[in-house]
Amino acid sequence: MASEIRYTPEYMLVYCIIGIIHGMLFSYFSTILSTIEKIWSQIAGNSLVYSGNEISQVFFLLALPFMGLVRKRTLFMGYPSCSQDLGYFSVEPSYDAEALKEPLCTSNSTVHSSCSSFEEEAASHLRTKWIGISFIFIGIFLHGIGASFYNTLGIPYIDDNSEKSNSPMALSFVITAKMADERVSQQVTGEPGFDETDDRWIGAWWLGFYIFGPILIVVAPLLILFPERLPTKDSEEGEDKTPDFVIETPQSTAEWFQLTKTLFIAFLFGFIGFITFLPKFIKFNFRKSSSASGIAGGLSTSFPLPSEYSPRGGSLALWCVISDCIGIFFFVGIVFIGCNSITTSSCHCSQSDYQPVCSIDGTLQFASPCFAGCTSVDKGGSPDGKKSYGNCSCVSGGKESFPLLTNNSSSFSGEVVSKYCEDPSCASHFVMFMALLGIFGIIGSSTRIPNLILSLRAIDPRDKASALTLTISLLSLFAFLPATVVFGAIIDMTCEVWETKECSQVESNCLVYNNGRMRLYAGLFMAFFICVQVVFDCLVWYHTKDLVLYDESEESKETDTKTEISS
């Protein structure tokens, strides 16, 4: 039998690495969402495939009666984390790019010559679509199983093997590691640097699974080597250290527990949908690639506070209320920050072609040369090597047709260039949005440890794993599962131009959104649910004012130690 590893730092290192990989995969799924839509024409109705993680966690509720029987938690964390890798290697990477066509403006709509066999083409596309989506669903479903065991058993394991005064710091390292995933995973999904100007470009979107999967296979089995109880200083000195801290809740453990469930459901129902579609939100509202949406975490500045000052439960709950109020102002504010929408025209344009073009003066953005009213291709191209189009009626009449979108420039030559417009005001709006998002991210993430500590201290220590199992299942059922579907439907409500298959005219993914409406719907949607959260946060604060978070014997021991050192 392999010797057991019996040191807390090594366990924290292994556990944090697995947490980073889990978080990377969640962020990775969100980042490649627009690519999945482009390949398999996935719209809100099909976004249930992304709910595979939540579906598996709902079924995880069936494991609740057996949580108290688990005698070696590290064993049940290691094996499921290994098994979830199977889904990552089953992702279908194949995608056939269509032949490049010049989407010019014509007087009448025409039927493509190859449309005679469109029924056979549609059947083949549908079959390929569902095979690919099924593989992705399996991967996400297995990921949910592994993540459920990892969280419901791993968090209590850390808390049980840490001093109560040091537990917030230990848990903060875990949460920080999970939050650090986002920047790394989105670097993997970044632009490769060649041919990305072609809007048919898909890229190796599946490559991340083959990077993260092997790392998890190597690291996850190490969890099995750790014992059920890590040695502490007290145990080495022969003392039986069984945590028995005071819980001062008025008949309220069950009541507070239910309030907490309602609180998180209200908040996460809105937030999970927003964070899932955040790369798409940034891409269309600020004309940025999804790889530019990495958000730096700032958790380390706030997490040391609980262990340093040993606050009461009411103080932490009050900070959560303040954080909620700041979040409301943020989401109301983003309604007014963004770029102009892409312009369309009355030409008979195929909605199967999306090749963004910009007017020469950089003031008008169109979905394709056809929507700009262009009838010819400039063989010479633009000075910077981009493809250009001429005789564009919507550009030459831009000042009259689009007075709100143009500047005082008079250089309307009726030409467009194949690129996104570089609008200085759009760039400044993006900087403002990212600054606000960064501030909200720091403040919002600082409430994760307080909420977790309150949850762990308001219940009997023996019920930690069962409580977290119930929490994850309820949140998955009432928040995570419906949130992506509802928020996806809200985003689709703002679509102005749907891509349609050239022959079958079946709608697939959206090409052009009304950015103003998207910001309005998304901002008010989030603000409403955070307002609901504020109400329940206040109730949590009322019921946890006297909740003791730390073992008083430990605090007195630490005080005596500090006194001896100072003397």
pLDDT of 259-273, one tens digit each? 454 455 666 666 777
CA distance 264 to 248: 22
CA distance 26 to 154: 18
Contacts of 219 (CB under 8 A, 6+ apart): 14, 17, 18, 21
Higher-pLDDT residue of 318 and 93 is: 318
Cross-strand pairs, 363: none
Report which DSSP code applies to 343.
B
Within its chain, how far is the Cα of 216 from the centroid?
A: 20
CA distance 308 to 152: 26
Helix/strand/coil for 296: coil
pLDDT (mean) for 371-394: 76
Instruction: Give the pLDDT score at 504.
Output: 54
Nearest one of 556, 449, 459 to 247, comparing CA atoms:
459
Question: What is the value of pTM for the model shown?
Answer: 0.67
Burial classification of residue 82, based on how many CB atoms lie within 10 Å of its CB (0-12 exposed, 13-18 middle, 19 or more buried): middle
Helix/strand/coil for 228: coil
User: Which ranges constitute the DSSP H helices of 389-447?
Assistant: 393-396, 398-401, 424-445
Higher-pLDDT residue of 79 and 90 is: 79
User: Above 80 in pLDDT, residue 218?
Assistant: yes
Contacts of 433 (CB under 8 A, 6+ apart): 282, 285, 286, 334, 337, 338
- Enumerate the domain spans of the chain: 8-111+123-339+424-566, 341-422
pLDDT (mean) for 153-168: 74
Instruction: Give the pLDDT score at 242.
Output: 44
CA distance 273 to 486: 8
Burial letters 436-452, b for 16+ CB under 10 A, else e: bbeebbbbbbbbbbbbb
Contacts of 259 (CB under 8 A, 6+ apart): 536, 539, 540, 543
CA distance 502 to 316: 57
The dihedrals phi and psi of 510, each to the nearest 5 degrees, come to -80, 140
pLDDT class of 220 with cuts at 50, 70, 90: confident
Higher-pLDDT residue of 110 and 405 is: 110
Q: Would you say how long the chain is, in residues?
A: 567
pLDDT tens digit sequence for 319-373: 888 888 888 888 888 888 877 666 655 566 766 566 778 887 777 778 788 878 8
Nearest one of 411, 353, 363, 413 to 388, comparing CA atoms:
413
CA distance 181 to 183: 6
CB 156 within 8 A of CB 269: no
Q: At the fourth CATH level, which superfamily is domain 8-111+123-339+424-566? A: MFS general substrate transporter like domains (1.20.1250.20)
Cα angle 560-565-567, degrees, rounded to a multiple of 5: 95
Burial letters 15-39, b for 16+ CB under 10 A, else e: bbbbbbbbbbbbbbbbbbbbbbbbb
Instruction: Give the pLDDT score at 121.
Output: 57
Name the helix (H) or strand (E) containing 243: none
CB 178 within 8 A of CB 23: yes
Provide the token pair at 262: 């309602």
Higher-pLDDT residue of 495 and 69 is: 495
Contacts of 553 (CB under 8 A, 6+ apart): none
As a whole number, the mean pLDDT across the chain is: 67
The dihedrals phi and psi of 310, each to the nearest 5 degrees, come to 45, 60
Instruction: Give the pLDDT score at 106.
Output: 59
Within its chain, how far is the Cα of 204 from the centroid?
A: 20
Contacts of 42 (CB under 8 A, 6+ apart): 36, 49, 129, 133, 509
Percent with pLDDT over 90 in the chain: 0
Burial classification of residue 278, based on how many CB atoms lie within 10 Å of its CB (0-12 exposed, 13-18 middle, 19 or more buried): buried
pLDDT tens digit sequence for 440-470: 877 877 777 777 777 777 777 666 667 777 7
User: 531: how many CB neighbours lie within 10 A of its CB?
Assistant: 15
Cα dihedral sign, 396-400-401-406: positive
pLDDT (mean) for 4-26: 74
User: Above 60 in pLDDT, residue 556?
Assistant: no
The dihedrals phi and psi of 512, each to the nearest 5 degrees, come to -135, 130
Helix/strand/coil for 91: coil
The dihedrals phi and psi of 327, each to the nearest 5 degrees, come to -60, -35
CA distance 23 to 456: 22
**Side chain identity at residue 60, one-letter code:** F
> Cα torsion for 300, 302, 304, 305, to the nearest 10°?
170
Nearest one of 177, 252, 273, 264 to 473, comparing CA atoms:
264
CA distance 145 to 162: 26
